[in-house]
Structure 1
Amino acid sequence: MITSSAPRPGAATAPGPPRRRALPRIVRHRAPTGALLALALFAAVRTAGIAAVIAVNALTDRPLVRNLAHSWDSRWYLHIAAHGYGRLIWITPTGGVQSDWAFFPLYPALIRATAAVLPVGQAAAALLIAWTAAVVAAYGVYLIGHLLYGRATATALVVLWAVLPHAVELTIAYTESLFAALAAWSLYSVLKGRWLWAGALALLAGLARPTGFAVAVAVIAAAAQQLWPRRGQAAPAVWAAAVIAPLGWLGHVLRVGHSTGDLTGGYFAVQGAWGSRIDFGAGAARFVGALLEHGGKVVYPVALAIVLVCLVLFGLLCLERAPLALLVFTGVLVLLVICGSGSFSSKPRFLLPAFPLLVPAARALAHTWRRRPAAACLIGGALTAVSVLYGAYVTVLVHSPL
């Protein structure tokens, strides 16, 4: 005889457990599978990079950690954090006047705020911000990779980003890690349809670096992609994101223009004094010609090789038919590197936040891991060794701008 546990009509039923209200999304969010492993690998590689810098400093009788917080641009950021803008200039050997207005305000503002809140000096605060932002950026990179391609590719993407030759600059007092964090999370917000977050983070990215407008352009392009087929009939948040995304970059440009007495051209004159201008590749062509004719230190051929590899990777990324926001963000950064003047040795650093370039390689590495795990580990180990050693070399021994 088969009986049913269903109550008879009219029968009393015991009250069930009270229904729980759904928690807000921000509370219910859980990290995707594998995120902790990817972040642990990232932290291990970059910690090894820091240790290598300290070891080389010790071997060459230099202060152990000073160049982590006082290398090139770091000194300008620390001076701005301590004294504000308009207090420091540098006269170049050719008579050019370089001023602190060339540097964007978010990082020095965070340095000053952190040093005011925590019992640390400004140099330590600068490193703390850079290291924290690097981990936050790595998590954003993982989320994008996981959303689009799954766990294995996301992990490979984070690992490859950690072992780039110039990845040491994610852990010194520079703005690359802060900018990469804001860019990654803004792009992730676009992919998830969180438009107000995307616009707000793009605004902050525009306050972090001169290349910050690449994030704004990506958000605007993605918003236009949403608006075009609907003849502009989309959620107000999409319009809001497109409007607020460029305000950070524009705000600093106009502030510099106001301070220099040339509202629209003052900022570009300041950047020109640093040798940073759009020359449509003329400077890069001259550099390549001189390098082929006369040769150069290790850092210059490596920089050229990195730029050429990035061009190939961008072509592969386009063939991957990646989301528009990723393509636009990466394309703008690549275009600025090719068409912009300035020290060629710094160009790999400018490409460091362009993590989508690594998607094709990450997919290939993930495929290798599934088929031949030992080979994938060997590749990862070799790239880690190169990154750690080269990072120590360019940070401690090279005297050209990073």
Structure 2
Amino acid sequence: MSTLEAVSVQPGDARGPGGRPTGRRVAVLLAPAVLYLVVRELGLLVLGLMADRWNKDVTKALTSWDGQWFLGIAQGGYDDVPSWLGDAFGRRSTETPLAFFPGYPALVRWLDALPGVTPIGAGFTVSLVSGVVCAYGLNRLGRVVRGGSPRAGLVLVVLFSASPMAVVLSMTYSEATFCALAAWALVGVVERRWLLAGLCCAAAGLVRPTAAALILAVVAAAVVAAWRRDGWRAWVGAVVAPLGLAGYLAYVAVRTGQWDGWFAVQQRGWDSRFDGGAATWKFATMILGEPRSVLELATVWFLVGAIALVVLCARRRVEWPLVVYGVGVLVMDLGSNGLMNSKARLLLPAFTLLIPLALALGRRRTSTVVAVLVGVAVFGAWFGAYAITAWPYAI
């Protein structure tokens, strides 16, 4: 029996004499973690092959670019980051490190304090554990959404962990931690567990600015629920949800002496600001007219695909807070004039847009599901490896 078949067994049917868990029950419990880890291990195996081809060190590739900043902040805090780190223009000021949110490096620093743990090992461990936690959150979402099922939950886990830029889930980047918190915040929304939703959303606000999209979804859903039926818990969730992001932005404002300090640091150091999509449109039309690289051309089509998935979400009547979150992530990505090479990576947290695909595949025969997911996983493994080995620029 395959893992996808095993999950169709109901929990109550999977216990032996005396209520002890049977093998099927254990398989059901472990399936999200196993599938996530298998897909990510495939990605690392392909990365090893690509690294050999391009004479790159795997560990250096997995700790490159923003990963160096996060490790630097984890080791020295904002005031003692290694001096050789600079912004997109090679410059550095006392404010430059503030562009990076503190949640992920704080976890790395706490783990690094344990005996025998290195900073890089701590970074990888936080990303690994966060990814597994995210897998369980996505599995839960795939079960509880409208039309969901145990099989759809597992398919959603695989689609996410095999995404084209899912390689960052294995890097010293903050995406895995953010996605774990976002997934469970949205589980709280769908299940009307507002304290869970609010607390996870607040924590996500300390990890990535993408939390703005999550806050919009959680607060809007909580207010609607409070107005209709859910009472004080929904109001508490709505109040708590923005605290993490608001708190860090306020901290940077005090440190820089500017009310919009974080945005100013981003613009000065990375020329990143919200321009309504003008830069993205210019980039897309230029690349489609005259492709310059695999990564850039693929990035444009990933963005087009994400827009198509929004339409599918609407047609499939996916719960509106999940659509609001996914659209919010997409709008932040499309609307920023920041590094175009990063746009595929910045789509990764928009995992709710994958729900229609998971629901559709969840109803297909096991052989069809396995064939599709294996193909997706192989492509995602290759693309992620290409992005941090053959591609010479930041992602």
Q: With the length of structure 2 as denominator, give the TM-score of the two structures.
A: 0.87
1:388 equivalent to 2:394? Answer: no
Q: One-letter code of the match for 1:163?
A: A
Pairing partner for 2:40 from 39, 46, 52: 46
Pairing partner for 2:57 from 59, 63, 77: 63
Pairing partner for 1:267 from 258, 262, 269: 262
Over residues 57-76 of structure 1, what are the superposed CA-to-partner deviations in whole Å (9 max), with x where a residue is unaligned?
Answer: 234433242221x2110000
Contact residue 86 and residue 101 of structure 1 kept, 8 A: no
Structure 1 residues 223 and 47, CA, compared in 2 at 3 Å: closer, same or farther? same
Contact residue 212 and residue 249 of structure 1 kept, 8 A: yes
Structure 1 residues 122 and 93, CA, compared in 2 at 3 Å: closer, same or farther? closer
Question: Tell me, what secondary structure is at the counterpart of 1:117?
Answer: coil
CA–CA distance in structure 2, aligned partners of residues 353 and 99 of structure 1 = 24
CA–CA distance in structure 1, aligned partners of residues 162 and 87 of structure 2 = 36
Shift of 1:328: 1.6
CA–CA distance in structure 2, aligned partners of residues 61 and 50 of structure 1 = 16
Contact residue 277 and residue 337 of structure 2 kept, 8 A: yes
Contact residue 333 and residue 346 of structure 2 kept, 8 A: yes
Residue 111 of structure 1 is matched in structure 2 by: 108
Shift of 1:156: 1.3
CA–CA distance in structure 2, aligned partners of residues 320 and 113 of structure 1 = 42
Describe how 1:173-192 pairs up with structure 2 within 5 A.
Answer: 173-192=172-191
Question: Tell me, what secondary structure is at the counterpart of 2:172?
Answer: coil
Pairing partner for 2:360 from 361, 364, 373: 364
Over residues 46-92 of structure 1, what are the superposed CA-to-partner deviations in whole Å (9 max), with x where a residue is unaligned?
Answer: 11111222233234433242221x21100001111111114456265
Q: One-letter code of the match for 1:175?
A: S
Instruction: Determine what percentage of the aligned residue pairs are the same residue.
Output: 32
Pairing partner for 2:70 from 51, 71, 77: 77
Residue 282 of structure 1 is matched in structure 2 by: 278
Question: Tell me, what secondary structure is at the counterpart of 2:86?
Answer: strand
Q: One-letter code of the match for 2:129?
A: T
Shift of 1:386: 0.8
Structure 1 residues 293 and 190, CA, compared in 2 at 3 Å: closer, same or farther? closer
CA–CA distance in structure 2, aligned partners of residues 295 and 301 of structure 1 = 6
**Range with bigger deviation, 294-303 or 83-92:** 83-92
Residue 234 of structure 2 is matched in structure 1 by: 238
Contact residue 278 and residue 339 of structure 1 kept, 8 A: yes
Over residues 248-291 of structure 1, what are the superposed CA-to-partner deviations in whole Å (9 max), with x where a residue is unaligned?
Answer: 001111111110111x1211101112122110011111112321
Over residues 81-125 of structure 1, what are the superposed CA-to-partner deviations in whole Å (9 max), with x where a residue is unaligned?
Answer: 111114456265497978111000011111110000242111110
Q: One-letter code of the match for 1:84?
A: G
Q: One-letter code of the match for 1:61?
A: N
Contact residue 196 and residue 238 of structure 1 kept, 8 A: yes
Structure 1 alignment gaps of length 5 or more: 1-30
CA–CA distance in structure 2, aligned partners of residues 33 and 318 of structure 1 = 33
Q: Following superposition, which runs of at least 4 residues in structure 1 exceed 6 angstroms of deviation?
A: 94-98
Q: Note the aligned Cα RMSD (angstroms).
A: 2.0
Pairing partner for 2:344 from 323, 343, 348: 348
**Range with bigger deviation, 239-248 or 186-195:** 186-195
Shift of 1:32: 10
Question: Tell me, what secondary structure is at the counterpart of 1:380?
Answer: helix
Question: Tell me, what secondary structure is at the counterpart of 1:235?
Answer: helix
Shift of 1:296: 1.4
Contact residue 127 and residue 169 of structure 2 kept, 8 A: yes
Q: With the length of structure 1 as denominator, give the TM-score of the two structures.
A: 0.86
Residue 400 of structure 1 is matched in structure 2 by: 393
Q: One-letter code of the match for 2:338?
A: G
Contact residue 149 and residue 362 of structure 2 kept, 8 A: no
Pairing partner for 1:324 from 315, 320, 324: 320
Structure 1 residues 94 and 220, CA, compared in 2 at 3 Å: closer, same or farther? same
CA–CA distance in structure 2, aligned partners of residues 328 and 32 of structure 1 = 35
CA–CA distance in structure 2, aligned partners of residues 39 and 103 of structure 1 = 29
Residue 376 of structure 1 is matched in structure 2 by: 369
Over residues 356-389 of structure 1, what are the superposed CA-to-partner deviations in whole Å (9 max), with x where a residue is unaligned?
Answer: 11111112212222xxx33332222211211111
Contact residue 201 and residue 245 of structure 1 kept, 8 A: yes
Structure 1 residues 380 and 91, CA, compared in 2 at 3 Å: closer, same or farther? closer
Shift of 1:318: 1.7
